[in-house]
Amino acid sequence: MLQLYDKDHKKMEGLIKYEDYKIESVLSTGDKTLSFLYPKNASENIELEGYIRNKTDEFVIKEISNYDDDYISVLSKMNVETLEGKEWDRFETVEQTVKDSLNLACAGTGWTVTLIDNIKKKRTVRKTACSTWDIIGAIKDTYRVELIFDSLNKVIKVYEKIGEDRGVYFMDSLNLINLEYNNDTNDYYTRIRAEGKDGLTLDGKGYLENYQYSNKVKTLYWKDERYTILEDLKEDAAAKLEELSKPKKSYRCAIEDLAKINEEEYGILDFNLGDIITLISKKDRFRDKQRIVKIIEYPDEPENNECELSNTMASFEDIQKEAKGVYETVDNITSDDGTIAESAIKDVVNHIVIDKVDINSLNAVSARVGNLEATSATINDLKVFQADINKLAATKADITDLNAANAKIGVLESSTALINNLLAGNITADMTQTIHLTGKNVVIDEGIIKSAMIESLDVGKINAGIISTDKFAIKSNLGGIEIAGETQQWRDEKGNVRMIAGRDLNNKFIFGVFDETGQGTLIDSTGVKEKALADGIIKDRMINNNEISGNKINIDSLITEINSNDTSTIKSTKVFLNEDGQTLDLAFKKVSTSLSEVKEITNALQTEVSVHQGKIEGLIKILP
């Protein structure tokens, strides 16, 4: 999401309906632009000179144009307004480091300078009728450094060289979508003749040579009177010739930024401005190492990203521009006949440049100081963008944002205070409406602390008759036992519930035991469930007398067991045959008596059987 501010820097709204959102970053200047399309029916708050912020930078809206019937096109540039707004009639630093020169240029703008690389070389920078932004560009070129502007925090980061060679490659069979290139030697030189101030020239032949591409002799004459030290002149002349003595190669690539699309899989292909990459084109049959000098990034559509690659940063146009700046400075102090202008001499009297001066008393209407060391200072009105102060005594201070490691305050009036540790003799209930208190030594009247005021509470500090398990889950240290709501659970070392007791969701009281697989049995108020009792667990002493009804006995199983058991018998005196109470043993005695009588009768009978003419005739006789 982009955040929109009006031209007075008042926060307006978040922009979420944008399309074709892209950011263009240029290595040579450190500048950035942000552009997008936005629906006309939602763009009433977008205005020229308003501000737009993303996660890393702030931009100023510079162009709003009609795109089609439904959308407008918005172009914004990185916010360096305070650098552009600070004017200089004359700027000069003589044999100073890049940080000292930038500090002086940024004085009064609110911007600070951070040196990323250890750059110790000293140079001279002179510029007239310019802004701080113009001076920064001159400093960058003079010291041959590269800059990154943090427009949110107003910090200029200074590098010897931005980026690195991480082995990233652009290949037309992988992530290179389209390639346009141009190679030329229009600004090609193999020899440079350099001259500084007061006829300072290179020793020896008076020029440097570099034949890295060919043996042709092409000479560039370069004069800059800001150089007073031979080694500085020679070092910078060699650096210029290093770039100019080879053909200029530039490429424009459409890249599918795979690292932005899938960082986990293609993070190795991630690249940034200033990185050196390997360019491989099977179609055009070449392989080359180039540096990324410009990136057009589509944050929401990384597959559309574009890059510009080049093997050089400086062009002949850059050198001409540099020379033009020198000539303009000379023109400002000379007349048409080439002599020093009277106005320039007057300006010199009014504006004196001195390397070192000791002054007992100085009265100045206006002063710009890059680095100021003072033993004592009395200032009526002081505006400081950043300060590091060991000890401060102030009668009155209005502070928007204060971070203090230690503070002693006599009387404190605060609308809202967030205090981690508070040591106090007395705190009233009115104060607790706006102050968040945590501490060991706070005395508070009863009833002051509300539930919303308590972030955490040590149980050891609680005195209570009832602890509601609906509000607390009570557990053992190892988690083996837990009471929550109206149930209590016991778990094994693997966290499996092995036993539970309490009220279930159906408002029934239950007791259950489970094995390690979760299978188990329950007992509730209706009785013991089928699987609650294991086989063989019921013993004789566990059953009351006269408690098992006959219809609960499996008769067939019982008789079968008795018949198959040779050791157990049923007494005949215990078996009743009728309602009269006749037992089985008495009945058998009567049967035995009757059988004995029958035997005696049959022993007295004789049967004769004969067959006569197909008939059986029998005769039973009673034997004597």
Output the six-digit token pair for 234.
Answer: 């020679």
345-401 pLDDT, tens digit each: 555 455 566 666 767 567 564 677 767 777 567 675 677 777 777 677 776 777 767
Specify whether 190 is located in the same domain as 137: no
User: What pLDDT score does 269 carry?
Assistant: 85
Rg (CA), the chain: 52
Specify whether 69 is located in the same domain as 95: no
Q: Is residue 144 part of a domain?
A: yes
Torsion of CA 288, 257, 252, 76, to 10 degrees: -140
User: What pLDDT score does 319 carry?
Assistant: 47
Is the pLDDT at 538 greater than 70, yes or no? no
Of residues 138 and 321, more confidently modeled: 138
Average pLDDT, the chain: 79
User: What pLDDT score does 307 carry?
Assistant: 92
CB 417 within 8 A of CB 433: no
Q: Single out the residue of 115, 102, 110, 103 nearest to residue 153, CA to CA.
A: 110
Q: Which of 57-61, 87-91, 227-231 is predicted with the least confidence, judged by mean pLDDT?
A: 227-231
User: What pLDDT score does 475 carry?
Assistant: 77
- Residue 280 neighbours by CB under 8 Å, 6+ apart: 169, 170, 171, 172, 176, 286, 287
- CA of residue 454 relative to chain centroid, distance: 30
User: What pLDDT score does 479 carry?
Assistant: 66
User: What pLDDT score does 387 carry?
Assistant: 74
Specify whether 185 is located in the same domain as 260: yes
Among the candidates 243, 271, 287, a domain finishes at: 287
Specify whether 169 is located in the same domain as 283: yes
Where would I find the beta strands (DSSP E) of 525-604?
527-528
User: What pLDDT score does 557 carry?
Assistant: 78
Q: Is residue 61 part of a domain?
A: yes
Is the pLDDT at 18 greater than 80, yes or no? yes
Region 457-468 average pLDDT: 64
480-528 pLDDT, tens digit each: 788 877 888 888 888 788 888 888 777 778 888 888 777 777 777 777 7
Specify whether 195 is located in the same domain as 274: yes
pLDDT band of 315, cuts 50, 70, 90:
very low
Q: Is residue 540 part of a domain?
A: no
Q: Single out the residue of 329, 119, 137, 123 nearest to residue 227, CA to CA.
A: 123
Specify whether 94 is located in the same domain as 179: no
Whole-number percent of the chain with pLDDT over 90: 35
Q: Is residue 148 part of a domain?
A: yes
Whole-number percent of the chain with pLDDT over 70: 71
Is the pLDDT at 297 greater than 90, yes or no? yes
CA distances 438 to 138, 420, 421, 515, 603, Å, are: 55, 6, 6, 47, 119
Q: Is residue 567 part of a domain?
A: no
User: What pLDDT score does 396 carry?
Assistant: 72
Taking the CA of residue 312 as centre, how many other CA atoms within 13 Å lie in the half-sphere pointing to its CB? 24
Specify whether 118 is located in the same domain as 229: no
Kindly give the pairing relationship between strand 219-223 and strand 306-310.
unpaired
CATH number at residue 100: 3.55.50.10
Which amino acid, one-letter code, is at 617?
E
Spatial separation of the C-alpha atoms in residues 523 and 266, rounded to whole Å: 59
Domain that holds residue 592: 576-624
33-44 pLDDT, tens digit each: 999 999 999 999
Where would I find the beta strands (DSSP E) of 218-357?
219-223, 248-255, 276-281, 286-297, 306-310
pTM for the full model?
0.54
Specify whether 134 is located in the same domain as 223: no
Region 187-192 average pLDDT: 93
Is the pLDDT at 311 greater than 60, yes or no? yes
Of residues 225 and 52, more confidently modeled: 52
Q: Which of 10-14, 62-66, 359-363 is predicted with the least confidence, judged by mean pLDDT?
A: 359-363
Region 95-100 average pLDDT: 94
CA distances 583 to 132, 454, 529, 578, 587, Å, are: 130, 85, 41, 8, 7
586-623 pLDDT, tens digit each: 777 777 777 777 777 666 655 555 555 555 555 555 55
CB 324 within 8 A of CB 259: no
User: What pLDDT score does 620 carry?
Assistant: 54
Is the pLDDT at 84 greater than 50, yes or no? yes
Specify whether 151 is located in the same domain as 260: no
Among the candidates 16, 51, 79, a domain finishes at: 79
Spatial separation of the C-alpha atoms in residues 472 and 547, rounded to whole Å: 45
Alpha helices, H only, 400-497: none
Specify whether 190 is located in the same domain as 267: yes
Q: Is residue 569 part of a domain?
A: no
CB 214 within 8 A of CB 190: yes
Q: How many independent structural domains does the chain possess?
A: 5
Alpha helices, H only, 432-486: none
Region 287-301 average pLDDT: 92
CB 32 within 8 A of CB 19: no
Specify whether 185 is located in the same domain as 268: yes
Q: Is residue 171 part of a domain?
A: yes
Q: Is residue 433 part of a domain?
A: no
Specify whether 43 is located in the same domain as 150: no
Among the candidates 33, 53, 79, a domain finishes at: 79
CB 464 within 8 A of CB 447: no
CA distances 235 to 197, 221, 241, 323, 588, Å, are: 16, 16, 10, 18, 139
Kindly give the pairing relationship between strand 155-159 and strand 112-115.
parallel
Spatial separation of the C-alpha atoms in residues 213 and 245, rounded to whole Å: 7
Is the pLDDT at 292 greater than 90, yes or no? yes
